[in-house]
Structure 1
């Protein structure tokens, strides 16, 4: 019987919105890689967005009444990095599963795109902190092929750590301490029960912290009803604003309202509130093209108006076993005996035994992200010039978007805001 050694992928996403809103960045200056038209990260943005919605629809179909929250960017980055060591069908399945059309985009464009994207997101900013990183935890007797080691460091800035997997508890502690440090203490005890036949663990994390450009006043927050479904009502701390202008529309052809809230920095959030009982209909048309349409419309002055806004303060999280989910998007061989990861090492027959993704969202009065976007035409949407009232007191969809890289950092659905 052929011996197979195991590789474990851990992916972590954290979106933190805190009252102090102080950004913590490294003191040294980094050069801005540039984000203009034709920049490498924009070449991969459409594929990353397509993957984000494919993954969302898959999770939503399996858990229609549950909270959803994940970082498509974290998943895409980790698996694109792993593809550097994949060969044959395993390589093709990974990249096509991530949404890339390999007849239209080259492998070098993909990795250069992620390299540029990571450089851009990790730039220091006074009001916005985004940290994206990768780490490889390697068995002490595992020798990586030089090309894989060099490419993962060059394109993905991965940090290698030597670990003793014969001491599973000690190695788990090493990994957990690293994740805890990189996510500012927000995610602890990510991994436990490591197998002694594990030889490599790949960790990707994304941490995001920022402040609303128009923060809520804590003194105006008060308990109000949130309608989980027709039969379930819970009390949530509801934040309130009535003095500010916001980018807001009600779609004439899709039964929903869309609110764009900016953060201080190069990011923004879209909150999509389906009309009562219309979540399924909205999800059916939730596509990259629809997000582009809303984004373009929400830069037209007629949709920038005073709004009486009620928005819940909440925390949710999502945990996903990607080894169970991604085969349904075409990434199959990687988790089976057919896996070809011979570009990583010649010593071992590797397969990915487990792959976990965890993402956490905290929303409060202080907030997280900011930005601008593109142009417009208004024939399909309705703009009201009198003050509108918008109550997020029922399930809604959230998209956290990086404007510099045109990338979805986080995507989710808030069904039950009191269930973390």
Structure 2
């Protein structure tokens, strides 16, 4: 019998936009902004922060593989969802399979125990799922088991305790009904954003592992819908498409043109503990920028765009309104990142059940990103009046009319929630 562990890692990200100015004392570039209330247990040295560097490294390694396999195409995924699903799966793996999963995710098992890792994800998921005003971030897991499959109590208890997993008994012999059960659950948990995800399931499926993420946030500084108009977007040297381009010229933003790399970097804040970095390579320099994209580079940009008042400047910003998605068969990608045994006959999942010799057949990931002008909240403050006076009078112009990268970060957990590349915003 086979264990079909389908990691349906689902993300819906409608980025609603709302207007406000920074509050007095707001540090706009810090992953742990003082203007936001610190989540319980997320201070320095906490379990969730001990896994940040490994998660970041895995996210960028995964991006590089995706980019090399899909040149010239949109990319969008949630590395944190994939990491969380794999570490959850490792609870049922044994021997070399378990070691390979954790080492493939970048964890140094001589410095961290597997218990440390699971406690880190437990705290991270708890923090992300806390209510935070207008910011909606919800990550969860579900196990769909064939009726009669007896899970080991330790695996069942740990998936629920560390990963808040829900358990559903399923009749996979009724493949249509099983798919409907999964689709209904996913639709509910993603606020209706993801529907009819599963179209067919094999009747020999014994278990489906689902990891989902729902993310909805409001821009601190929205675009006015009345100013959106069609403009050219240059996909490559020979391809131009028309996109609805949003526009604003009356806001200050954190942005810089890198003096060492051929790119501009814009930091956009959401209401709540999330920020986005949009990285715009110079024309023809996307591959060079991708090769330079490292954890150290992200840290450098973040430090510059939070501590240097010079980079908080009035900006004429042109940004496309778009919707893109990414669908990936992880069983085709993960072996290139050190997970060679995971989908093989040698994989050991005896920590899940003793009654069957299980094998993982497939692994899927799907993510969706929507960006528009929507804004529902307004606020104002004068805390940055000194910065305004010191900024140049003439606004810079930053036009996202060619392919760019996006990285969305949770500041309270210092984790990359989503990342990708927008090559053609007209292709969803």
Runs of 4+ in structure 1 over 6 Å off: none
Deviation at 1:19, TM superposition (A): 6.5
Contact 1:114-1:156 at 8 Å conserved across structures: yes
For the residue of structure 2 that corresponds to 1:7, the secondary structure is coil
Q: Which residue of 2 aligns with 1:8?
A: 6
Deviation at 1:336, TM superposition (A): 1.2
Contact 1:5-1:351 at 8 Å conserved across structures: yes
Q: Does 1:219 align with 2:226?
A: yes
For the residue of structure 2 that corresponds to 1:189, the secondary structure is coil
Q: Which residue of 1 aligns with 2:64?
A: 57
Q: 1:5 to 1:111 in 2, by over 3 A?
A: closer
Q: Does 1:190 align with 2:197?
A: yes
Q: Which residue of 2 aligns with 1:103?
A: 110
Deviations 1:166-224 (CA, angstroms, capped at 9, x unpaired) = 11110000001101111111111111221111110000001100100001111111110
TM-score where L is the length of structure 2? 0.90
CA distance in 1, matches of 2:363, 2:16: 29
Deviation at 1:256, TM superposition (A): 0.1
Question: Which of these residues, 130, 136, 143, is aligned with residue 129 of structure 1?
Answer: 136
CA distance in 1, matches of 2:344, 2:124: 31
CA distance in 1, matches of 2:200, 2:270: 39
Structure 1 unaligned residues grouped into runs of 5+: 22-30, 369-382
CA distance in 2, matches of 1:335, 1:193: 20
* 1:12-91 → structure 2 map (5 Å cutoff): 12-18=10-16, 32-91=39-98
Deviation at 1:367, TM superposition (A): 7.1
Q: 1:353 to 1:385 in 2, by over 3 A?
A: farther
Contact 1:131-1:208 at 8 Å conserved across structures: yes
Q: Which residue of 1 aligns with 2:337?
A: 329
Aligned residues: 395
Deviation at 1:92, TM superposition (A): 1.1
Deviations 1:116-139 (CA, angstroms, capped at 9, x unpaired) = 000000000111000000000001
CA RMSD, Structure 1 to Structure 2 (Å)? 1.7
Contact 1:212-1:263 at 8 Å conserved across structures: yes
Q: Which residue of 2 aligns with 1:377?
A: none
Question: Which of these residues, 168, 182, 187, is aligned with residue 161 of structure 1?
Answer: 168
Q: 1:201 to 1:160 in 2, by over 3 A?
A: same
Q: Which residue of 1 aligns with 2:35?
A: none
Q: Which residue of 1 aligns with 2:381?
A: none
For the residue of structure 2 that corresponds to 1:353, the secondary structure is coil
Q: Does 1:242 align with 2:249?
A: yes
For the residue of structure 1 that corresponds to 2:71, the secondary structure is coil
For the residue of structure 2 that corresponds to 1:351, the secondary structure is coil
Deviation at 1:18, TM superposition (A): 3.6
Q: 1:118 to 1:248 in 2, by over 3 A?
A: same
* 1:111-150 → structure 2 map (5 Å cutoff): 111-150=118-157
Contact 1:163-1:171 at 8 Å conserved across structures: yes
Deviations 1:345-393 (CA, angstroms, capped at 9, x unpaired) = 001111111110000000001379xxxxxxxxxxxxxx97742100000
Question: Which of these residues, 357, 360, 363, is aligned with residue 365 of structure 2?
Answer: 357
Q: 1:385 to 1:41 in 2, by over 3 A?
A: farther
Deviation at 1:266, TM superposition (A): 0.3
Q: Which residue of 2 aligns with 1:203?
A: 210
TM-score where L is the length of structure 1? 0.91
Contact 2:18-2:221 at 8 Å conserved across structures: no
Q: Which residue of 1 aligns with 2:388?
A: none
Q: Does 1:418 align with 2:416?
A: no
CA distance in 1, matches of 2:211, 2:414: 20
For the residue of structure 1 that corresponds to 2:349, the secondary structure is coil
Deviation at 1:63, TM superposition (A): 0.9
Deviations 1:54-94 (CA, angstroms, capped at 9, x unpaired) = 00000001111000000001100000000001011111111
Question: Which of these residues, 287, 293, 299, is aligned with residue 286 of structure 1?
Answer: 293
More contact order relative to length (CA 8 Å, sep ≥ 6): 2
Q: 1:84 to 1:5 in 2, by over 3 A?
A: closer
Q: Which residue of 2 aligns with 1:380?
A: none
